[in-house]
Chains A and B, each alone.
Chain A
Amino acid sequence: MADQNKWDWEIKEKKVPIGEWKEHFEWVEEPYASPDGEKVAAVVNIGEGEFNVCINGETWENPFEKIWYVRFSPDGRLTALVSDTGEWTVAVDGVPWENKFGYVWNTMFGPNGKNIAVAAQQDGEYCMVLNGEPWEEKFQNMTYFAMSQDGTKTAAAVQVEGFGEGEIHKFQQGCFTAAMDGQAWDNRFVNVWNMAISPDNTKLAAEVRVNLYDYTIAVNGVPWEKTFGCVWQPIFNPKSGSVIAPVRVSGKWTLAENGKFLWDGRFFQVWHQMFSPNGEKLAAIVAPKYGRWTVAVNGQPWTATFSDMVTDMVFSQDSSRIAALAKEGEQWKVVADGSVWSNVFDMAWKPAISSNNKYVAAKVEKKGKYTIAVNDRIWSKECEAAWDPIFNSNGDKILLRTVENGQYVRRVLPVTEITG
């Protein structure tokens, strides 16, 4: 993560009049705010077939024929996918990478923002590109991209054997595998899907289908001995290095570790499993009953369950707390440690937990207006746009990034100003 202690936590309010931008351009697309809140940017059209990025009122030096997927990296650099004369690349703070491609997409960032990766196609071949440098090896097709936790390695599911239209039996012999930094496994599979790279960057684990019916997890190309009716994305245990994945057995789901059942409980669904930062707790989103959703920690589901969806689960930094979002009908709810807020929303975004564990905050929307809620208390301002709130390292201040009356506002508040 970028060092948030270096951010300005003192000045209460800074504004950028983004509403004025539309007077200077043909049109202005939706704005994006930097993580530290100091910058706000949007793609702007400056004439037929000519685009630029406006950042705090200034455009990049050079325009492009096409620009999309404007995103700030965690260290505050502004990236976009840009095209000129039919070639695509990534522009970082307005400077395009030297290497150009037939197409690029799916920007990914390492945690400190130093590493930026995209998927690329050139002359009908596919590879990952990290900081402008493509893999040496290219593939016929490539899906399910992954980046290591430190951002230095990239991986993907790749096609290593060709097959023609309708060649179903050749397909079923296995034409796919996984590759890390371009190095493909020797083993081939019918399918390879979501994958994860171990914290020490030595292992790659992926969901695989070994024939049309048997699913398992392959680690560095070697499938678990046991197969299952289905599996979902694996993760690595940060302490032991073991691999944990949801597996389906006799129509029910549970978690398995290195191919052996880890949880005793069986659920109608298990996915999005996640270790706490200290590696002591393992939580997952589960359906203990058909059509009822909740969070289970170390196999024990919360008592509260929800009808439609549970999503965006997050641990506190000290691993003691968990927050998530739940949806019932058209209502979105924030749930902290199994307790549901009384306020409900038309939409909610991923919760944040303060480092002192006192507060849970989330961006929320009601009747088309955006605001921030902390510990079930709703901030009084209704905004045209908002971004996820960020706590300072002490947990006593909160950084809010909003658009109000056509102005982008960076605001630092004591959390108590919202909670009362």
Chain B
Amino acid sequence: MAEPAKKQEQEVKMTDEGLEVGASRLTEDKIEKVINQVLKAETGARLKTYVDTCVHCGLCSEACHFYMSNDKDPKWSPVGKVKQTIWEMINKKGKVTPEFIKRASEIASTECNLCRRCLQFCPFGIDIAYLIATVRRICHKLGVTPRYIQDTAHSHSVTMNQMWVKGDEWPDTLQWQEEEARGEFPGLRIPLEKEGADVMYSVIAPEPKFQAQLIYQAAAIMNVAGVDWTMPADMGWDNSDMAMFTGDNEIMGRVKRAHFETAARLRVKRIVMGECGHAFRSVYDTGNRWLGWSRPAIPIVHAIDFYYELLRDNKIPIKEKFKDPVTLHDPCNVIRGGGLMEKSRFVANALCETVVEMHPNREYNYCCAAGGGVINCGPPYKLKRVKGNRVKAEQLMDARARGAKVIISPCHNCHSGLKDIKNYYDIHMDIKFFGDIIYKIMEKPE
């Protein structure tokens, strides 16, 4: 396997106000009370079963990119992270120190992506991501959460989107993109608030904030494919959810309620979401359930699934296939979480002349190390994040050695995480969304 180059960077320890200030306000009494409250009132048979069942076999270890990339140091293994956090809290019946909580929060929020790869290898099916998410919930209740992701959760709480996009900025951006796109697609519309459309298209807030071309591309695809679609003009348009990853379940529920009730208000048959993985987890699994919906109240269709339908039904005329060999990254939340691995390959093969498989792949693919809110914890943890995913770099280098020039990553967080990895390890590959490729190769008006 090819060895990636490594930049010799000095790790500079940066302080995190979210952890430092939060921990400085704690007392041991408060910690004990909160831990036991969460364990008693919010966890049940699931947590007890996991804790009682684990036989410390360590089979989860080699599933974890952090462990593999940190020279198999046991403290980075999934079970090692559990031992350093929730087990200690349970064993000591909540009697732990503020310093312990600060470290537990850092481990839970920045050293585990909740990607559930370890779950694939546990002989008992223990979901370590659930255990780590419980640690995040406890740390949230204690007010000890990394600053940058906490700020994002605050944005969700005020605006129902993750990037402080204000009420006027959203429709204004859509109208600007619509106007731009009409230069290329005469008569194109981004239909706002069109009640009774088949599809509500939802995105994450970075798109209107600094990736507006993705909205342009989606509008072009909808237009060419003749989809009856709409976008809401009011709150509920953003499907993302960092509150889910800070353990602020109440804000998660509020954000998801806005999303589903907006779709219901617009009387759409289904919600089609852009190429985002964590948002899929929130709308398809976690957020809906917190509200009492055992399944999404309005069906959710991830972009991979939607493109699969459009290509299968020949709704997108293709001028010629994408020529550069591509490799396909399998994002955890839509592949392990949503089972879209074969549809993703159908789309890739329909669009591209050559698809080079990464190894391992599908539900065994290595995580990007950005997901689960880790990249959202910001600059203090960037170096740890990229150094903690050397195995991903090796995986990419291997695909590159077999001819791949482009990585397709149908997830925003994976996209950003892979970009950091390729830059750090000097891997000369381009990264694209499926939407980028469809837009590039589809037939457009002359």
Distance (Å) between the CB of A407 and the closest chain B CB?
19
Which chain A residues numbered 32 to 65 have a C-beta less than 8 Å away from chain B?
Answer: 45, 49
Distance (Å) between the CB of B39 and the closest chain A CB?
14
Stretch at the interface among A101-109, A178-186, A275-283, A373-381: A101-109
Distance (Å) between the CB of B383 and the closest chain A CB?
19
Contacts of B292 in A (CB 8 A): 268-269, 287, 290-291, 293
Contacts of B172 in A (CB 8 A): 103
CA distance A55 to B189 in the complex (A): 21
Contacts of A103 in B (CB 8 A): 168, 171-172
Contacts of A45 in B (CB 8 A): 187
* Known contacts A66-B175, A105-B233, A168-B18; is-contact A143 B159 (Cβ 8 Å): yes
| Interface presence of B28 (CB below 8 A) | no
| Interface pairs (14), CB distance under 8 Å | A66-B175, A68-B233, A69-B192, A103-B168, A121-B166, A126-B166, A142-B167, A168-B17, A212-B140, A213-B141, A230-B250, A293-B292, A307-B294, A349-B267
Contacts of B254 in A (CB 8 A): 193, 230
Is A169 within 8 A of B157, CB to CB? Answer: no
| Interface presence of A191 (CB below 8 A) | yes
| Interface presence of A166 (CB below 8 A) | yes
| Interface presence of A341 (CB below 8 A) | no
Partner of A166 from the list B148, B191, B267, B299 (CB cut-off 8 Å) is B148
Is B264 within 8 A of A309, CB to CB? Answer: yes
| Interface presence of B143 (CB below 8 A) | yes
| Interface presence of A2 (CB below 8 A) | no
CA distance A69 to B194 in the complex (A): 9
Is B148 within 8 A of A311, CB to CB? Answer: no
Distance (Å) between the CB of B285 and the closest chain A CB?
14
- Which of B41, B292, B297 has the most chain A CB within a 10 Å cutoff? B292
Interface residues on A, range: 35 or more
| Interface presence of B100 (CB below 8 A) | no
Partner of B166 from the list A106, A141, A291, A327 (CB cut-off 8 Å) is A141
Distance (Å) between the CB of A294 and the closest chain B CB?
12
* Known contacts A269-B292, A308-B295; is-contact A105 B168 (Cβ 8 Å): yes
Contacts of B159 in A (CB 8 A): 141, 143
Is A212 within 8 A of B196, CB to CB? Answer: no
Distance (Å) between the CB of B425 and the closest chain A CB?
28
Partner of B147 from the list A66, A106, A168, A347 (CB cut-off 8 Å) is A168
Is B167 within 8 A of A143, CB to CB? Answer: yes
Distance (Å) between the CB of A22 and the closest chain B CB?
11
* Known contacts A69-B193, A347-B196; is-contact A327 B297 (Cβ 8 Å): yes
Which chain B residues numbered 277 to 312 have a C-beta less than 8 Å away from chain A?
Answer: 291-295, 297-299
Is A143 within 8 A of B158, CB to CB? Answer: yes
Distance (Å) between the CB of B380 and the closest chain A CB?
11
CA distance A68 to B148 in the complex (A): 36
Contacts of A308 in B (CB 8 A): 293, 295, 297
Partner of A169 from the list B17, B192, B234, B269 (CB cut-off 8 Å) is B17
Residues of A within 8 A of B (CB): 26-27, 29-30, 45, 49, 66, 68-69, 102-103, 105-106, 119, 121, 126, 141-143, 159, 165-169, 171, 176, 190-191, 193, 209, 212-213, 215, 229-230, 248, 250-251, 268-269, 271, 287, 290-291, 293, 307-309, 311, 327, 330, 346-347, 349, 365
Contacts of A212 in B (CB 8 A): 140, 143, 248
Is A290 within 8 A of B168, CB to CB? Answer: no
Distance (Å) between the CB of A320 and the closest chain B CB?
27
Is A27 within 8 A of B250, CB to CB? Answer: no
* Known contacts A102-B168, A141-B158; is-contact A166 B42 (Cβ 8 Å): no
Distance (Å) between the CB of B283 and the closest chain A CB?
14
Q: How many residues of B contact A (CB 8 A)?
A: 49
Partner of B294 from the list A30, A66, A248, A291 (CB cut-off 8 Å) is A291
Is B294 within 8 A of A251, CB to CB? Answer: no
Closest to A370 in B: B196
| Interface presence of B151 (CB below 8 A) | yes
Is B297 within 8 A of A309, CB to CB? Answer: yes
Is B140 within 8 A of A68, CB to CB? Answer: no
Contacts of A290 in B (CB 8 A): 292, 294
Which chain B residues numbered 318 to 377 have a C-beta less than 8 Å away from chain A?
Answer: none
Distance (Å) between the CB of A43 and the closest chain B CB?
10
| Interface presence of B154 (CB below 8 A) | yes
Interface flags, B12-43, vs A, CB<8A=1, else 0:
00000110010000000000000000000110
Closest to A287 in B: B292
* Known contacts A105-B233, A121-B168, A143-B159; is-contact A29 B294 (Cβ 8 Å): no
| Interface presence of B389 (CB below 8 A) | no
Closest to B166 in A: A141
CA distance A142 to B159 in the complex (A): 9
Closest to B246 in A: A212
| Interface presence of B96 (CB below 8 A) | no
Partner of B158 from the list A29, A191, A229, A346 (CB cut-off 8 Å) is A191
Is B293 within 8 A of A191, CB to CB? Answer: no
Contacts of B157 in A (CB 8 A): 190-191, 209
Which chain B residues numbered 226 to 259 have a C-beta less than 8 Å away from chain A?
Answer: 233-235, 248, 250, 253-254, 257
Is A105 within 8 A of B151, CB to CB? Answer: no
